Structure 1
Amino acid sequence: MLSGLTIRGRCLLAAGAAAGICALVLDERDLLRVSAFVIALPLLALLLAGRVRFGIAARRHLDPPRIPVGSTADAALHLTGGGLPVEGLVVEDEVPHALGDRARFRLNALRGNGIRLDYSVTPALRGVHHIGPLRTWIGDPFGLATYERELAGRSRLVATPNVHELSGLPPGSGMGNGENGTAKMRAGHGNDDAMVREYRHGDDIRRVHWKSTARRDDLMVRVEEKPWQGGVTVLLDRRSAAHRGTGAGSSVEWAISAVASICLHLSKQGTQIRLLTEDGWPLTRDVEVLGDGQEDALLDSLAAVRPSPQRDLSCSRDPGEGHELIAVLGETTTAAVAELTRLRPPESRSLAVLLDVRAWNGEGSGRDVVRSAAQLRAAGWAVTVAEGPQARVPEVWQRLCGQVPEVTR
């Protein structure tokens, strides 16, 4: 109960208690009255602050909750009170350093009809940020008691990578509509090849695949998602050892922005997109013709990407599964390139954007990227090089599409 007293309130309470003891010892009734008043004053202040603490409510609204890096989102705090006047009310919303300065407000009074506080945040870094909790310190006018209270929890703000407007497609690219996809679609014999998985709690009983259930002696259901049928695989190399630079200007951030731009550009062409990381695992679920919220799901996945500690670029199988592959690669060794090209069928369409990551450290162009590009081209890949942080994603894409000549290196 007394934990809400400030140092001033505790001292006054101790002084009142000491005066009371002295009044009893000296039999001074006037001093005893003064002692009772001094003791009652911090206790009344404590009671008043406690009542106000339970009479205040707040909520936070972010508009919009998902923005590109460098854009601004507006945060609105709506505070309502129980009608008690509050002097010196301090409200602070915890804001991550990547979003800007802290949001701190001092209010002279809070009435029952409430008040609205506005501030803005501008994410400097891609990621999933959490704003809050919202805290307040409620005290009395004499500074004898104060309470800290959490008024509102956390709100989620997604800072998505920058997406650039791209145009054109690589020459000779069928965007997944070639023979490989068609052949795989014709494989099998009707319902026996239906995609199934084990039954999970909550699955619709109408999706049960009875033939597979009888064969495996376990309840199986049909998978509603369409199988991978000749789309385009986009490979993101997020290895921390393969990139240079820090913060929003690092090469890994450039690669993530390029991948986001390529995926959304291809989706507008009606292409089925599969996004993988350097270990061959999907970054997000398979999406077909991004839309109906799937674009947001893809951007959310890219917003949450973190660099991988994996040092080598290694896949146990062809990451494109025989279909078209677009790889955005960081620093790549000769052995990694040989492994990647070995897994790819010669007839499959393969494209790569190689990042000259040394340029992100101001070290100038490295010979490794030239050697890797020549090795990929010799294997039949279409390759372009991003020369450094000054390279613009649309220009690099146009070079990959053959609309702009390659830079002589």
Structure 2
Amino acid sequence: MRLTRRGACTLVAAVVLVALGLAGGYPLLVALGAIALGAVGAAIGVAGRKPRVEVIRELFPDRVERNGRAVITLRVHNPGTRRQGGFTAVDRVGEDRVTIAVRPLAAGAEQPYLNELPTGRRGRHEVGPLTLFRADALGLGRSELSLGGTATLWVYPRTHPVGAVTGGLPLHHHDGEATETSPRGSLDIREVRPYVPGDEVRHLHWKATARTGQLMIRDYADPHQPQFTVLLDDRREITAPEFEEAVELAASLIVAAAEADHRCRLVTPGGVDVATDSGWDAVQRYLEQLCVVARTEEAGLPLVPGALARAGGGTLVVISSAVTVSPDDRAALVGVRPRYGDVILVVGSTGAAPAAPGVRVLRAANAVDAIRQWRTVIA
């Protein structure tokens, strides 16, 4: 228990009033000082008793889109034989705070409390620990008690319904170049890698196993499966509002592609490089990555990283800003253009349009506008 600033000032004023009253012979000052001292003593008596309750926190759901609905439920139980006074429960959600006023509880009683969590900021937010506060009516003293651990709330970027690109250049594998006329269901070797428990034993590569001394396995890929790559500009030159719109657009496009059974890749100039197969696990991984991606502090980064310049196949979508795309960036995009079936640059509506031969440019005011224009790409 501790005195608040108001309580400390009241205590000092009480001592001064009593001292002046006794020294000058003023009973009124002594009485006022005594009243103030009594108020401080009462505050210590009320706020000094910490809540003796059991609290269970339930967070549902723990993964939502930005501005989605996530609620926290507190189940407050009084295990004692005496009535518990009311108090205030405060949960921290990142930089925000959620306050719940808990009413007095009878002995053995339990009361649930429901409150919505702030989800306006994208990110991985830590919820908790829960802090219980008890204060007197005058706000002179307060006690604090921390309970329980923490939970995690994932606030994903918003995703909008959008179609996936169906075309793209054929991929290249160890057995040669695949063609667009390859029959569906055919497989090409993507790589020969060490065996991992759970791999198909019938895919063991015995020659490589004999040569390396460890079990090696053929990793197959479907040559007819489309490939979709998103290059998200996370350089510090792009403004915060533009970056949030870019993340929202990247999430919408890559989720649609992964759900359409495309092999996807997410790359940023700042070092993010995530490549997965399609399916729900891929969607979750990309959303988690886009949940925490932030602008890099490193200066002078090129838009197209070296790893992406050496890759190829399928469709490449570059999401940036017209202001931050330099002539060198445009030259790099022109350089990687032959490696992809299509290269699309999406930039904001401010600044001059960065024209690049062979690269389609979409200018959009925000993510929703960009998705509206995306229909011309997949038409």
Amino acid at match of 1:180: H
In structure 1, which of residues 61, 65, 68 is the aligned counterpart of residue 62 of structure 2? 65
Structure 1 position 333 matched with structure 2 position 326: yes
Bigger mean CA deviation after superposition, 151-160 or 208-217: 208-217
* Cross-structure match for 1:93: 91
Structure 1 position 258 matched with structure 2 position 254: no
Indicate if the aligned counterparts of 1:232 and 1:320 stay in contact, CA closer than 8 A: no
Amino acid at match of 2:129: P
TM-score of the superposed pair, with normalisation by structure 2: 0.71
Structure 1 position 124 matched with structure 2 position 155: no
Q: CA RMSD in A?
A: 4.3
In structure 2, which of residues 368, 374, 378 is the aligned counterpart of residue 397 of structure 1? 374
* Cross-structure match for 1:22: none
State the aligned residue count.
Answer: 329
Instruction: Tell me how far apart the structure 1 counterparts of residues 269 and 218 of structure 2 sit (CA, whole Å).
Output: 27
Deviation at 1:191, TM superposition (A): 9.1
Instruction: Tell me how far apart the structure 2 counterparts of residues 191 and 391 of structure 1 sit (CA, whole Å).
Output: 39
* Cross-structure match for 2:34: none
Indicate if the aligned counterparts of 2:232 and 2:246 stay in contact, CA closer than 8 A: yes
Runs of 5+ unmatched residues, structure 1: 12-40, 360-365, 404-409
| Counterparts in 2 of 1:267 and 1:116: CA distance versus 1, 3 Å | same
Corresponding residue SS for 1:393: helix
Instruction: Tell me how far apart the structure 1 counterparts of residues 306 and 113 of structure 2 sit (CA, whole Å).
Output: 54
* Cross-structure match for 1:240: 236
Instruction: Tell me how far apart the structure 1 counterparts of residues 177 and 118 of structure 2 sit (CA, whole Å).
Output: 47
Deviation at 1:163, TM superposition (A): 0.7
Instruction: Tell me how far apart the structure 1 counterparts of residues 364 and 178 of structure 2 sit (CA, whole Å).
Output: 40
Runs of 5+ unmatched residues, structure 2: 12-40, 180-187
* Cross-structure match for 2:71: 74
Corresponding residue SS for 1:336: helix
Deviation at 1:153, TM superposition (A): 2.1
Deviation at 1:319, TM superposition (A): 4.0
| Counterparts in 2 of 1:223 and 1:295: CA distance versus 1, 3 Å | farther
* Cross-structure match for 2:15: none
| Counterparts in 2 of 1:340 and 1:111: CA distance versus 1, 3 Å | farther
Superposition map of 1:8-407 within 5 A: 49=49, 53=52, 56-83=53-80, 84-97=82-95, 102-109=98-105, 111-137=107-133, 147-167=143-163, 169=165, 173-174=167-168, 178=170, 180=172, 183=176, 194-196=192-194, 215-216=211-212, 231-241=227-237, 243-244=238-239, 246=240, 250-279=241-270, 281-282=272-273, 284=274, 286-291=275-280, 293-310=281-298, 311=300, 312-319=302-309, 321-324=311-314, 325-330=316-321, 331-344=324-337, 346=338, 348-356=340-348, 359=350, 366-367=351-352, 370=353, 372-373=354-355, 375=356, 378=357, 380-381=358-359, 383-389=360-366, 392-401=369-378, 403=379
> What do residues 181-237 of structure 1 show as CA deviations (whole Å, max 9, x unaligned)?
683579xxx99952228x8xxx679989886676456x6675979699862222111
| Counterparts in 2 of 1:225 and 1:301: CA distance versus 1, 3 Å | farther
| Counterparts in 2 of 1:121 and 1:223: CA distance versus 1, 3 Å | farther
Indicate if the aligned counterparts of 2:88 and 2:99 stay in contact, CA closer than 8 A: no
Instruction: Tell me how far apart the structure 1 counterparts of residues 98 and 148 of structure 2 sit (CA, whole Å).
Output: 16
Instruction: Tell me how far apart the structure 1 counterparts of residues 109 and 220 of structure 2 sit (CA, whole Å).
Output: 50
TM-score of the superposed pair, with normalisation by structure 1: 0.66
Instruction: Tell me how far apart the structure 1 counterparts of residues 2 and 245 of structure 2 sit (CA, whole Å).
Output: 53
> What do residues 6-26 of structure 1 show as CA deviations (whole Å, max 9, x unaligned)?
699xx9xxxxxxxxxxxxxxx
